Amino acid sequence: VTELPSLVTERLAITLLQPAAAEPAAAYAAANRAYVAPWSPRRGDDYYSHDFWAVHAEQSLEEWRSGRSARFVLSLASDPACVIGECNLTEIARGYFESCYLGFSLHHRHTGRGLMTEALSALLAFAFQEMRLHRVSANYLPDNLRSERLLRRLGFRKEGLAPAYLFINGAWRDHVLTSLANPDPGFLPALAGRPA
């Protein structure tokens, strides 16, 4: 994949996080701060500023270009200038792993409409078909029932409970580990068949 990706679904535009979106991305983070707090690391006030998101977007582009992550912002097709969510593929590992982590959040006013299911269906198709990944991991707090339902709807399978897995909302917290593998049964890593 060489050019900057953007995905279009029935109701959404899903675009790679770029410096031009720093303002609406910061506004989204601020508007959703309280809603995501139980499921997120604690952030300082600077996290909600334009300057933070301008730098973060530059770093994200650099990570995309070097193949380390793909961070996207979500907008309604009817209001493309406003960010209403994000979904990220991070810590991409290649070789014989071809794996990454999935993260996501949606503006509290837009939950309950299937928008994240729609976004992640497109993102996962992109991850498996275009980015040629084998495995996407997604991990959530045991009481994050909306994430649990969302991931189950998308076909993720539970792998177990990891004790004290992530430092979230001020403490090391257990997480349910789930993953989804590339549905193509014939999918091979790019390295397959090459000499070790």
Where does this chain bind ligand COA (CB under 6 A)? 36, 39, 104-106, 111-117, 140, 144, 146-147, 149-150
Distance CA 26, CA 180 (A): 30
Nearest-CB residue for ligand COA? 114
Shortest distance in whole angstroms from residue 138 CB to ligand COA: 7
Sheet holding 99-106, edge to edge: 6-8, 12-16, 70-76, 85-93, 99-106, 135-140, 171-181, 157-168
**Is 42 or 149 the residue whose CB approaches ligand COA more closely?**
149
For residue 90, give the nearest of 50, 131, 121, 55 by alpha carbon. Answer: 131
Question: Rounded to the nearest whole angstrom, what is the least distance from the CB of residue 149 to ligand COA in the complex?
Answer: 4
Does residue 48 contact residue 33 with C-beta atoms inside 8 Å? yes
Please identify, using beta-carbon distances, which residue of 49 and 121 lies nearer to ligand COA: 121
Phi-psi sector, 29: left (phi>0), alpha (psi -120 to 50), beta: alpha
- State the nearest-atom distance from the C-beta of 109 to ligand COA, in Å: 10
Min separation Cβ 191 and ligand COA, Å: 30
Beta-bridge mates of residue 149: none
Shortest distance, position 140 Cβ to ligand COA, whole Å: 4
Best CA proximity match to 140, nearest among 176, 86, 169: 176
Q: Which is nearer to ligand COA, 49 or 111 (CB)?
A: 111
Closest CB to ligand COA among residues 18, 144:
144
> Max Cα separation, the chain?
52
Of 144 and 179, the one with the shorter C-beta distance to ligand COA is 144
